[in-house]
Structure 1
Amino acid sequence: MKKLRKHLIFHGNVQGVGFRYRSYYLASSLGLTGWVKNQYDGTVEMEVQGDPAAIDDLILRLQQQPFLWIDQIEAKELPVISEHSFSIL
């Protein structure tokens, strides 16, 4: 299976609404690894790794969550690293 790693920054109403916990649950259920954390500027930063289709599914599911409003997602690919879980930082 081909793996992909992405660095994502989510803009919008993404802090104080359970975004990181939903990310953790969804990423873990999709077999993805990486991390998610809040930033001081109100964005949420994430690195996620795994099957490219599962990463796309994670992003789509996050966009469909109630109480979240994602205005923009900045994304770039990163080199794949050795990692075994998804965590909230």
Structure 2
Amino acid sequence: MESHDKDEPLETRLVQVRGQVQGIGYREACVRRATALGVTGWVRNRMDGSVEAMLQGSPEQLAEMCEWLSEGMSAALVDTLEVTEVQPPFARFDNFERLPTL
């Protein structure tokens, strides 16, 4: 999929992924999957062992990305996926990147 058009309505979600998701290449795989889907935003490890991602895209793109975050990487053992809708106004992301651990 291509990245979203400037006129296309966007939604933004903050996602917390809990389980065994650090030390297995999860963030790198997340960047590849988001880029393939045309989702923009970022992903980072958290000190509590979870992974946090800010996702921006169409509802369909976000649904696909959240499904992947939950069960798309076989090495990951996801216990919970907490998805929070971010209300406008929000910054528009140009790409999807990996951020340092918070």
Q: What band does the TM-score fall into relative to the shorter chain?
A: over 0.9
Distance across 1 between alignment mates of 2:27 and 2:40: 14
Query: Where in structure 1 do 4 or more consecutive aligned residues deviate above 2 Å?
Result: none
Give structure 2 stretches of 5+ with no counterpart.
1-7
Match in the other structure for 1:77: 85
User: Which residue identity is paired with 2:80?
Assistant: Q
1:46 corresponds to 2:56: no
1:65 corresponds to 2:73: yes
TM-score by length of 2: 0.82
Higher relative contact order (CA 8 A, sep 6+): 1
- CA RMSD in angstroms comes to 1.1
Give structure 1 stretches of 5+ with no counterpart.
none
* Identity level (%): 31
| Structure-to-structure mapping, 1:6-21, within 5 angstroms | 6-21=13-28
Distance across 2 between alignment mates of 1:61 and 1:8: 12
**Structure 1 or 2: larger strand share?**
1
Larger Rg: 2
* Larger displacement relative to structure 2 (22-31 or 51-60): 51-60
